[in-house]
Amino acid sequence: MSIQRYIAANSPRFLDELVALLRIPSVSADPKYKEDVARAAHFVKEKLLASGVDTAEICETAGFPIVYGEKIVDTEAPTILIYGHYDVQPADPLELWDSPPFEPVIKKTDLHPEGAIFARGSADDKGQFYMHVKAFEAMLAEGYLHCNVKFMIEGEEEVGSENLDRFVQQNQEKLKADVVLISDTSMISLEHPSVTVGLRGLAYMQVQVTGPNKDLHSGTFGGSVANPINILCKMIASLHDEDNRITIPGFYDQVQEYDAEYREQLNKAPFDLDEFKRKLDVEETYGEKGYSTIERVGIRPTLDVNGIWGGYIGEGAKTVLPSKAYAKISMRLVPDQDHKRIAQLFEQHFQAIAPPAVKVKVVPHHGGQAAVVPTDSIGYKAAEAAIQEAFGKKAIPTREGGSIPITALFQKVLGLDPILLGFGLDTDAIHSPNEHYGVANYLKGIETIALFFKYFQQLSQEAKQ
Ligand code: BES
Ligand code: MN
Ligand code: MN
């Protein structure tokens, strides 16, 4: 197939272009980077045009813009909508990076003998969505593009995709397609290629516990009024029982339970528990009783404190009984939990368990529903066929613990099957220092995406007849 030759011949430039994109610090969460986020949007638009789309535009929103571009080759042909995000997570803590997060370097590692690109956003999601731009270029240049393509690359995924939600609702005609293809997830390994068939939902809360109206001397007042940090810790500790189940009343009401057959299937995926523990430097795993690690991450809901603060955390010792304590708490959700209902249940429960000695404020942040991808669709079969040809292996369906809240919206509003064809690895350190993306993953991904297009067109054609 000359697509492979095209990719091989152009791979240095494909890498250079990605490196240029990674140099732009498009951190959506931090207002300091506002202009850089806008610059990244322009970069994406220009590269779409250079790669051969008919039209590309920057669609302004109340927040960061959405880059939209399309190439219609034949109005009778199937249309593939590509979704990705050009925004990235903040890079802190900077001191833990071996090289600056926005000065990409390619280094060889044990896992990546052909090299990996180290930079914030390399795997999540610049390196992944950019594979689509280059697969598109290759198909077009080699005369292999037989599907229409629509690109929708947003700049607010890492902060909750609020404006994309509106954009999708308001542009249903423009976004009309036969499938939505997303590369923003992981695979087990290049030896064990997998397709993600489920993502968890999310409900993210911030809580504030107030004791006395000001910080007090912990000797003069200690023991006579509630310490909000002590209380907050107690409250948080009570959110799990001894089996590590979440104690919020009604929390599990909507949770879909899976039968033994499904669970057995899920647990067949290659997974080395000892290696998992070794890599994380933990003696033992920890989680809900009665479930394997794969299940705990893939099909069970969780509650985690993401951050907790209050009182004195400076040098030395200061005796103080603080007035306030805070925590950020996230819950990963599974089908059919509704993130708004869960946020409500959390708030009610958290208020209910607070002793009268403190006041509690609960503020919900963003959330999103879990998503499940059917495996009997043309899109899934095309993904399987593409992986079979590119890797010579059968794709393993996996359920991942992360969240892409917009996936469920594509299903609901646009009625599309989402195909989660990601090429990252769990070891890529996304959202963490030294994020990286394998050069081999990048190039293999481009090839697999081109094959997806080929099979999606073929299978759609066959289904019509
Ligand atoms: N690409 C990730 C989601 C992901 C990571 C899926 C790994 C599967 C495997 C995405 O950019 C992300 O970070 N999502 C956030 C939620 C979002 C609302 C901030 C998450 O999962 O925490
Ligand atoms: Mn992502
Ligand atoms: Mn992310």
Q: Ligand 2 centre and the CA of 237: distance in Å? A: 30
Higher pLDDT, 366 or 304: 304
**277 ligand 1 Cβ < 6 A:** no
Is the distance from CB of 112 to CB of 426 less than 8 angstroms? no
Whether 186 is in the pocket of ligand 1, judged by its Cβ within 6 Å, is yes
Q: Residues 364-420: pLDDT tens digits? A: 998 999 999 999 999 999 999 999 999 999 999 999 999 999 999 999 999 998 999
pLDDT value for 465: 86
> Helix 439-464 and helix 378-391: axis angle, to 10°?
130
Work out the average pLDDT over 162-168.
Answer: 94
Q: Are 130 and 18 in contact (CB under 8 A)?
A: yes
400 ligand 1 Cβ < 6 A: yes
Any ligand 1 atom below 6 A from CB of 435: no
Give the number of other CB atoms < 10 A from CB of residue 335. 17
Percent of the chain residues topping a pLDDT of 90:
98
What pLDDT does 355 receive? 98
Give the model's pLDDT for residue 366: 87
pLDDT at 118: 98
Distances (CA, A) of 412 to 33, 277, 415, 417: 33, 38, 5, 10
Task: Show the beta-strand stretches assigned E in 72-178.
Answer: 79-85, 105-107, 116-118, 148-154
201-253+301-365 topology per CATH: Alpha-Beta Plaits (3.30.70)
Q: What's the pTM value of the predicted model, to 2 decimals?
A: 0.95
Residue 418 dihedral angles phi and psi, to the nearest 5°: -85, 140
Average confidence (pLDDT) over 107-132: 98
Q: What gap in Å lies between CA 126 and CA 89, rounded to an integer?
A: 11
Confidence tier at 447 by pLDDT (50, 70, 90):
very high
By CB atoms closer than 10 A (0-12, 13-18, 19+), residue 444 is buried
Pocket test for ligand 1, best of 64, 129, 157 (most atoms within 8 A of CB): 157
Distance 227 CA to ligand 3 centre (A): 35
Tell me what percent of the residues of the chain surpass a pLDDT of 70. 100
CA pair distance 44, 128, nearest whole angstrom: 13
Residue 144 predicted with pLDDT over 90: yes
pLDDT digits (tens, 9 = 90+) for 313-351: 999 999 999 999 999 999 999 999 999 999 999 999 999
pLDDT at 250: 98
Compute how many other C-beta atoms are within 10 angstroms of the C-beta atom of residue 437.
Answer: 32
Q: What is the pLDDT of residue 320?
A: 97
Q: Average model confidence (pLDDT) for the chain? A: 97
Closest residue to atom 1 of ligand 1, CA basis: 184
In angstroms, what CA-CA distances link 268 with 1, 3, 216, 258, 262? Answer: 33, 34, 56, 15, 10
DSSP letters of 240-276? B-TTS-B-STTTTTTPPP--HHHHHHHHTS---HHHH
Q: What is the average per-residue pLDDT within 160-172?
A: 94
Coil, strand or helix: which one is 295?
helix
Average pLDDT over residues 219-236: 98
Average pLDDT, stretch 206-226? 98
What average pLDDT does this structure show over 91-104?
97
Distance 299 CA to ligand 2 centre (A): 20
Binding site membership of 405 for ligand 1 (Cβ less than 6 Å): yes
Report CA-CA distances (Å) from 127 to 331, 418, 438: 28, 19, 9
Q: What is the DSSP string of 403-462?
A: --THHHHHHHHS-PPEEE---B-GGG-TTSTT-EEEHHHHHHHHHHHHHHHHHHHHHHHH
Residue 200 has pLDDT above 80, yes or no: yes
Complete DSSP assignment for 395-406: PEEEE-S---TH
Q: 154 in ligand 1 pocket by Cβ < 6 Å?
A: no
Instruction: Judge whether residue 1 has pLDDT over 70.
Output: no
Architecture of domain 3-199+370-464: 3-Layer(aba) Sandwich (3.40)
Helix (H, G, I), strand (E, B) or coil at 287: coil
Tokens in use for 286? 């920890």
| Amino acid identity for residue 134 in this structure | K
Task: Ligand 1, residue 366: give the atom nearest the CA.
Answer: 18
Instruction: Show me where the domains of the chain are located.
Output: 3-199+370-464, 201-253+301-365
The two tokens of residue 12 are 């240095």
